[in-house]
Amino acid sequence: MPEPRIRHLALCIFHHQGRILVNEFVDPVKGSTLYRPLGGGIEFGERSADAIVREIREELDQPITDLRLIGTLESIFTYLGKPGHEVVQVYDARFEDATLYRLPWLEGVESDGAVFRAKWCDSTSFSDASPLVPEGLQALLTSLSLLG
């Protein structure tokens, strides 16, 4: 079993009209649904902003603009029955293609080839049983008036 480690992530919310773009995950161990913005791990020698640009290009094949850091969160959690610890740089950005904001969802591809649908959600989509993760993200976005 590998040594536990802290993961460093960069996530991007893409806020628009009180909604953000999220990917839905299920934790069958807890029997819960989780929502997380797009993004992923920061590679060694890579700046977090560059990780966002790379991840969005890899996952959605879309160029982005107006990238700005809006906060840093630390999350200690259990997922699939295993402990996790992440430090997350949270960004906001804009898609160059404004038509993407009118779609109900965007199709993406994970690094393992799995296809997913990222969807636009407002604050009513999230609850204690189906939280927005990482921990503290919903409070951060609400305090910045980025999530309606």
SS3 assignment, position 47 = coil
Q: Of 3.90.79.10, 3.40.50.2300, 1.10.287.130, 3.40.50.9100, which CATH number belongs to 7-143?
A: 3.90.79.10
Give the span between the Cα atoms of 124 and 5, in whole angstroms.
Answer: 33
For residue 124, give the 3-state DSSP assignment.
helix
Domain ranges of the chain: 7-143
User: What are the pLDDT tens digits along the chain (148 aa)?
Assistant: 678 899 999 999 999 999 999 999 999 999 999 999 999 999 999 999 999 999 999 999 999 999 999 999 999 999 999 999 999 999 999 999 999 999 999 999 988 999 999 999 999 999 999 999 999 999 999 999 999 8
